[in-house]
Structures are given as C-alpha cells and as structure tokens.
Structure 1
Amino acid sequence: MENYRKTEILGQGAYGKVFKGQDLRSGQIVALKRALATNEEEGIPSTTLREISVLRTVSECEYVVKLLDVISSKTKSGKSVLYIIFQYLDCDLRTFIISNKKKNNGLHIKLIKHFVFQLLLGLKHCHDQGIVHRDLKPQNILIENAIRIKIADFGLSRNFCVPVGRYTHEVVTLWYRPPEILLGVKCYSTSVDIWAVGCIMAEMILGRPIFCGESEIEQILAIFKILGTPSVKNWPSVYLLKDWHEFPQWKSCEIHKLFKGLDSDGIRLLCSFLHINPSKRANSSDSIESVFFDDIRDFY
C-alpha cells in the first residue's frame, strides 16, 4: 500500500469502505475498496473474493470498470485486509440522470441509445464469460466523460455455468428485481440482468424509476399494474412458483403511451427487456442487433 495514498472516503457498506486515492507512482486517481476480515476463522468476505475473481475475468472489456491491482495487507492490530484498486470515475448513472434530465422527462434519446448499447455490450461480454451480474442498477453503472459507461460492483455476481445451484434471492436491489425472483424462483440466469437493463432504460427515458415498491409485495404489484398480471397463457409455469398466489387481475397498460418519446423500434426493444416471462426475455446478443441502434452502431 506504500504505492497508494487514500484521500477521502467515498462510501461504506457491509463489507468495508471505498476510498478515493492516488497511485503515487503515476499520479493516477484511483478508487480503493477495502475489505477487512470479519474474523480470523472466516477471513476475507466471500463477496470480495468473488468480486476479484469475476473482475479478473471481465475487466478487460472497455464497458466494465477496470481492475488495476489487488493488495493483501495487515492493519496495525494485525487483522487481514484486502484492497481492490479500480480506475476512479466520479459519477454514476443515477447521479447523471438527476443532473441531466429534462423537465418532467429523462435524458435525450440519442444519449439513452448510446448508454443502453454500451450496457448491452458490457453484459454480453460478462454473459459470454459465464458471469451474471445480479445487481445492475444506475448506482452500479459509472460514467466516464459523460458518454462512456462502465459496469461496476460485481460483489454479488457469480458464475452461472453448470451445475446450476439455488441462488440467493436477496440479490437485486428491489426496484430492479425481476418478477421471477420476487415470486420465489429457485434458479435463474442472465435474464435477471436483462430485466434490470429494461428498468434502467425506462428510468433514463422517464427520469424516474418505473417500478417503485417499498416491499417485495408492493414491488410485484407495481410490475403487474403496468405489465399486467401474468397468466397461464403468457407464463405457463408462474403458478408453480413458491410465492405465487391469487393476485388482482390487471391488464397491461399501453406502453407506447407511457413512453411517448420512444419510437416503435425502441418500444419493441424495451418490451423485450421487460417481458414478464423470463424465458421470453431478450438476450444481450440479440438485443445488440436491434434496429433501434442502427443510427449509432457505426460508433462502435
């Protein structure tokens, strides 16, 4: 750690602190994520070790935050501590939306196209490597030079290759959590990230989150009120899910009226992200080929 100087605390979570700092060798501004061992028996938290493992796999992608260094150290009291050193970006997508949205509306549609396209490129890279993020939300998407996005915070991500296990349900921040997790599905895959992309795209257009529940039941009802209550016709296996019961019967609203600034290609793409049935949801590879992106594709 003699090569780095911490300058200020950026945040604090369950597993440690994040600092702004500087690489004294190059002068580069960096972010330092510090994880303390919970105790000598348990060692460094598994989420931290998982994040390092995932980042070593995916951070060569230009749409994923860059892992610069990993340092094992000791505190003055002799406790083990691990520092993950990242490139530093001073703005996340949530802050960017709040600062740049138009009155009673969200971001400019051209910028939304660029951000969603880059997000899909980053996700495709992760999914191709067998990694599902599981915690995509605007706060975990960093902005570089007001045009380039970087997917960050892989602490909850994991490999989804066989064998497929029973993953924890407490993974995606509530507003970006897909209906299958809210209804108690036992196994899931990349479609949870695609649902989050739909929620994030909707938020960039509206200037506010689309589904805002204060509890899991409120969240599932908020989804059904807009997308309609699922039925055996559009989601045959929904009645088999652990937390399914008889919900109020809502019909889906007319999405094009909710997103008036979005053309028909954009509506189709958004609906493919926010399909109530995870098996019918789009994937990152197909979504990148959407005609919605035809006018920006040459930039990439």
Structure 2
Amino acid sequence: MDKEKDGIPISSLREITLLLRLRHPNIVELKEVVVGNHLESIFLVMGYCEQDLASLLENMPTPFSEAQVKCITLQVLRGLQYLHRNFIIHRDLKVSNLLMTDKGCVKTADFGLARAYGVPVKPMTPKVVTLWYRAPELLLGTPTQTTSIDMWAVGCILAELLAHKPLLPGSSEIHQIDLIVQLLGTPSENIWPGFSKLPLAGQYSLRKQPYNNLKHKFPWLSEAGLRLLNFLFMATAGDCLESSYFKEKPLPCEPELMPTFPHHRNKRATSAAEGPSKRIRP
C-alpha cells in the first residue's frame, strides 16, 4: 500500500469481498483482514497451504499417479461447483493457483481476477486467464464470459497432471489458437454455434484440421477419461463430477493418502533464502 495514492485498489477490494463470502474446503480461506500500525499496512490472514501444484510438478521425481490425479481433479471440480453456484467465475485457473496442504486437501487460490456474474451476462475485460489455460472464445474476443472459461482451464489442468507437462504451451495468442486447432480440430458453426460471430473469428486463417487428436495425445487413457477431457471443455463442474472416469479403476485416492513432499518444501525454503527464482511461468 506504500505506493498507492488513492487508497486500496479496486481489484484488491473485489478479491477481499469475494473471499470473505466464500467458505468451502477446496477454496483458500480468508480468515481475517488486519490493519497494522499505519492505514497503509493491510494484512490478509489466510489458511496455510504447504505447497502449490506448479512447483510440485516441476520438482517431483515421478509424476502423480492416475489415482492421485483423480483425487486432485475431484477437489478442484468441487470447489469450482461451489463458486459457480454462487455466481462467481475465477478467470485465472492454472496449476500455480492450486494449493495443497499436507493433508492432501487441494484449494483454489488467487481471486484477483475473479468476478461475480449475473443474468443477463454483462461484458467483462477480455484479457483474463493465463495464456496456456485460456479458452478459445476469449482468444477470439468474446465480449461476455461464462463459467465455461473456468471449465476449459480445468480441462487443461487435468491434461497437464496426466501428461506431467502443459497441454497447450502457446507462445502467443495466434500460436495458442493453432495448438487448440491441432488438438481438437478446426471449429465451425456445426460444432460450435455462434463461432463465426465472435469478433476475431474472421481475422485468423485457421488450418484445416478435421480430427480430434486427444486420443493420440493420451493413447493410454481410458474411454471414460477421454470423454471427461472432451466434456470438460464444454460442460459444468457438476456434470463432470458425475463422470464414470472417477468411478473406474484406478479409483481416486483419499486426500489423506496424497504424498506430502517434505523434501520439496525444505528445498524451496532454502532457495527462497538464497534469492528469487529465475524461472517465469506464463
């Protein structure tokens, strides 16, 4: 707050207001807002989580097992179902915004871009969601946003956890669109009603690619898993929670059985003491 001349930024007020409303096991908890000795000293007292998934994925010697991936995904979907039922879109879901406690509880964090929405849906700022997790309608300039942009991001997160690497690591918006087309096929009015009316749809020359290549990307994944991945890109959190993928073997492990990574935490604490990391995630 030292550099703020006009009080608390509106983005911070939005985030604080939303977090004070939210109470769910899979959403990071804002316990208290505390003012220090001076008015510009404001502290948010949050529930403590030992690690975030992005740094875990970078440092784990072996990837999460499929049972562990299911455990994580179920928790993300439960938190998201709660948000959407309360008419809130997160708008920045990615692995670095998913925290995990030593009890295996996954919590969605960072509500700086989150917004409450209503009916009818009003226009919102289009430049949201980190590029690798950004839904195609955002890339094509949609003026309105729905819960589908969060669901797209969850699809990218599930695929990243399964593959142990980002699904669509685009270097620019044009590259991101091309990667989506390569993976899922060229959009059209038949498979995406309203596609041609999106503001930027006519500005891109999309490659002709009629096939969905998810099965080639994940040849070892079950039919139920592939259906869920496809479904995530267009469904609701509640629908996805009912997926048969979570009911087939390997079954989701219990959160208490998730690994705790004490070595990773100790290593990260040492790195923090030595200086900031040079790696930059998009």
Counterpart selection for 2:148 from 188, 191, 203: 191
Q: For the residues of structure 2 that align with 1:141 and 1:185, how far apart are their CA atoms?
A: 26
| Counterpart contact for 1:269–1:290, Cα < 8 Å | yes
Q: Who is 1:98 aligned against?
A: 58
Provide the secondary structure at the position in 2 that maps to 1:80: coil
Q: 1:260 to 1:100 in 2, by over 3 A?
A: farther
Q: Who is 1:290 aligned against?
A: 243
| Counterpart contact for 1:37–1:45, Cα < 8 Å | no
Counterpart selection for 1:84 from 28, 44, 54: 44
Q: 1:202 to 1:299 in 2, by over 3 A?
A: same
Aligned length: 251
Shift of 1:250: 1.5
Counterpart selection for 2:211 from 249, 252, 258: 252
Counterpart selection for 1:226 from 158, 161, 183: 183
Q: How does 1:229-240 map to 2 (within 5 A)?
A: 229-240=186-197
Cα deviation digits, residues 22-54 of structure 1 (max 9, x gap): xxxxxxxxxxxxx55621xx3211111111111
Q: 1:74 to 1:225 in 2, by over 3 A?
A: farther
Provide the secondary structure at the position in 2 that maps to 1:150: strand
Alignment pair present for 1:45 and 2:9 = yes
Q: For the residues of structure 2 that align with 1:289 and 1:116, how far apart are their CA atoms?
A: 12
Q: Who is 1:174 aligned against?
A: 131
Provide the secondary structure at the position in 2 that maps to 1:70: strand
Letter in structure 2 aligned against 1:96:
L
Letter in structure 2 aligned against 1:92:
D
Q: 1:101 to 1:271 in 2, by over 3 A?
A: farther
Counterpart selection for 2:224 from 265, 269, 274: 265
Q: 1:163 to 1:83 in 2, by over 3 A?
A: farther
Cα deviation digits, residues 112-140 of structure 1 (max 9, x gap): 10000000000011111111100000000
Which structure has more helix as a fraction of its residues? 2
| Counterpart contact for 1:64–1:152, Cα < 8 Å | yes
Structure 1, gaps ≥5 residues long: 1-34, 275-280
Q: Who is 2:19 aligned against?
A: 55
After TM superposition, the score normalised by the length of structure 1 is 0.78
Shift of 1:229: 1.2
Give the percent of matched residue pairs that are identical in Structure 1 and Structure 2. Answer: 35
Letter in structure 2 aligned against 1:165:
K
- Backbone CA RMSD of aligned residues: 2.0
| Counterpart contact for 1:101–1:107, Cα < 8 Å | no
After TM superposition, the score normalised by the length of structure 2 is 0.83
Provide the secondary structure at the position in 1 that maps to 2:51: coil
Q: For the residues of structure 2 that align with 1:174 and 1:143, how far apart are their CA atoms?
A: 23
